[in-house]
């Protein structure tokens, strides 16, 4: 493969009530809402981006939240768990914090020398916190409810569930430039670059599981990083030459995107690192106002009338020192 991703860019999921979604990810998980915009393909729906202070690639979990969205089904052909990286000494703190917030958690397990705490968000989306023994140098978003010493550092990994692994593994290695790292029973780990938090994907082989249905409480797609538009365009051409059905390059305002499905069924994206989230509002004000791309701006009044009100808790604008 001529091109190799450096790691995860973001994960996009489908949620329910947008206010409940924001309250959970800002207050309970302590992330920052770095962009309040709309689904460019369905402008009557929010697109909410949660991440670190500036929304750097590799820290982002985003949502299309629809009120009264039907519940999806977790199964093969989709990303089934999104995992965040936390400090090694913080798993116990997180278990107490989540349970105090009324979130049911698993017992802490150890896999590949990593402590893992699993739980679900209010719409049933499977999540996990993972403490990597080598640590994670990324700076956290620091809030009164989730202090920086314990806070999420960014994405750790995603798990793709498939009925068989060979074709999916081929796409990860030959299409994205990932490397095989380890096998643990029916779980196969791949990594980008040198690996570590933010550069990992697990392929979980569950041939007897039902086929997943993407709707509320499930992942819509998983995005991987490309450094710039030129690399992305050449990457797209190489994928097309290999017979992969790839979309045209799409302008997502804060990055450029191409989409395709891996053979197991999961929708993948390659997204550029630039231009980032501060192109249309200052760093200190990220997420506060509804931002629309230029081609939707003439319809702002109509779009705002379709969207439910969204009140951001004060934690989204915590004072940084």
Supply the DSSP string of 81-141, one letter for each residue: EEEEEE-GGGHHHHHHHHHHTT--BPPPEEETTEEEEEEE-TT--EEEEEE-TT---SPPP
CB 84 within 8 A of CB 128: yes
Q: Which residues are 119's β-sheet partners?
A: 105, 127
Tokens encoding 234: 């050449």
In Å, how far are 56, 206, 293, 315 from 41, measured between CA atoms? 23, 33, 12, 30
Tens digits of residue pLDDT in 39-76: 999 999 999 999 999 999 999 999 999 999 999 999 99
DSSP symbol at 199: S
Residue from 140, 19, 22, 33 nearest 87 by CA: 140
Listed in sequence order, the DSSP H helices in the chain are 18-23, 91-100, 166-170, 229-241, 300-306
Question: Mean pLDDT across the stretch 206-224?
Answer: 96
Structure confidence at residue 321 (pLDDT): 38
pLDDT tier for residue 312 given thresholds of 50, 70 and 90: confident
Q: Residues 94-152: pLDDT tens digits?
A: 999 999 999 999 999 998 889 999 999 999 999 999 998 888 999 999 998 999 999 99
**Residue-wise pLDDT tens digits, 159-182:** 999 999 999 999 999 999 999 999
Largest distance between two CA atoms of the chain: 54
CB environment 115-127: b (16+ within 10 A), e (fewer) = bbbbbbbbbebbb
Distance CA 254, CA 163 (A): 34
Q: Tell whether the model's pLDDT for residue 260 goes beyond 80.
A: yes
Contact present, 33 and 26 (Cβ < 8 Å) = yes
The number of CA neighbours under 13 Å toward the Cβ of 16 is 14
From residue 64, give the alpha-carbon distance in Å to each of 15, 46, 242. 6, 6, 31
Q: Output the CA–CA distances (angstroms, integers) from residue 33 to 10, 98, 112, in the order listed.
A: 14, 19, 31
Q: Which residues pair with 233 in a beta bridge?
A: none
Q: Which residues pair with 221 in a beta bridge?
A: 12
- Reply yes or no: is the peptide bond before residue 47 cis, omega within 30 of 0: no
Q: What pLDDT, on the 0 to 100 scale, is given for residue 61?
A: 98
Look up residue 123 and give its two tokens: 């719409």
């Amino acid at each position: 493969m001529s091109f190799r991703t450096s790691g995860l860019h973001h994960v996009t999921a489908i949620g329910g009530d947008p206010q409940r979604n924001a309250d959970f990810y800002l207050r309970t998980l302590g992330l920052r809402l770095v962009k309040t915009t709309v689904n460019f393909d369905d402008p009557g729906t929010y697109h909410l981006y949660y991440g670190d202070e500036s929304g750097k690639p590799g820290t982002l979990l985003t949502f299309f939240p629809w009120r009264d969205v039907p519940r999806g089904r977790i199964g093969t052909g989709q990303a089934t768990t999104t995992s965040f990286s936390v400090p090694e000494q913080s798993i116990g703190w997180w278990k107490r914090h989540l349970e105090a917030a009324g979130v049911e958690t698993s017992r802490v397990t150890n896999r590949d020398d990593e402590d893992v705490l699993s739980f679900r968000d209010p719409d049933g989306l499977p999540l996990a916190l993972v403490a990597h023994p080598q640590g994670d140098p990324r700076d956290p978003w620091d809030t009164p409810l989730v202090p920086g010493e314990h806070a999420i550092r960014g994405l750790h990994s995603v798990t793709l569930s498939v009925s068989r692994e060979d074709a999916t593994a081929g796409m990860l290695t030959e299409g994205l430039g990932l490397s095989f790292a380890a096998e643990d029973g029916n779980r196969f780990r791949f990594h980008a670059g040198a690996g570590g938090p933010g550069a990992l994907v697990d392929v979980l082989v569950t041939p007897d599981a039902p086929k997943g249905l993407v709707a509320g409480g499930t992942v819509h797609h998983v995005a991987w990083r490309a450094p710039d538009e030129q690399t992305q365009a050449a990457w797209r051409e190489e994928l097309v030459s290999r017979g992969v059905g790839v979309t045209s390059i799409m302008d997502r305002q804060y990055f450029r995107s191409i989409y395709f499905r891996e053979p197991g069924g999961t929708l993948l994206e390659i997204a550029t690192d630039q231009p980032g989230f501060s192109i249309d509002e200052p760093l200190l004000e990220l997420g506060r106002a509804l931002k629309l791309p230029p081609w939707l701006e003439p319809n702002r009044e109509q779009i705002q009338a379709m969207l439910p009100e969204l009140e951001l808790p004060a934690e989204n604008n915590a004072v940084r020192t």
